[in-house]
Amino acid sequence: MATLEELKIEATAEIEAAKPQYISVNNEERERTEAEYAQAVTDLTNLKWQKQEYGYKSNRALEYPSIADQLDDIFHNGLDAWKATIQKTKDKYPKP
């Protein structure tokens, strides 16, 4: 697991590599100011932290079968088969 400081270094490198970045304000395009680049680094760092700590929830939710399909799975194949299906997704996106 990366620390917040390590994620900030990653984010800084990504933003640096993506320069120059242009933003649109009131229909006019201009390059980000230094303060806006700093905010972009903060945003990306926070997002990386959020994804690292809690992203498994969203990833699992996106991949689990629908409730209807899970009920169908239980009805036709039993609880053990259903648990095996769910476990695959849990293993793919482990809780940190």
User: Of 6 and 63, which CB lies nearer to other proteins in the complex structure?
Assistant: 63
Among 23, 71, 81, 84, binds other proteins (CB under 8 A): 23
14 binds other proteins (CB under 8 A): yes
68 binds other proteins (CB under 8 A): yes
CA–CA separation, 61 and 64 (whole Å):
6
Specify the pairing of strand 22-25 against strand 28-31: antiparallel
Give the residues lining the site for other proteins (CB under 8 A): 14, 18, 21-27, 29, 32, 39-40, 43-44, 46-47, 49-50, 54, 57-58, 61-62, 64-69
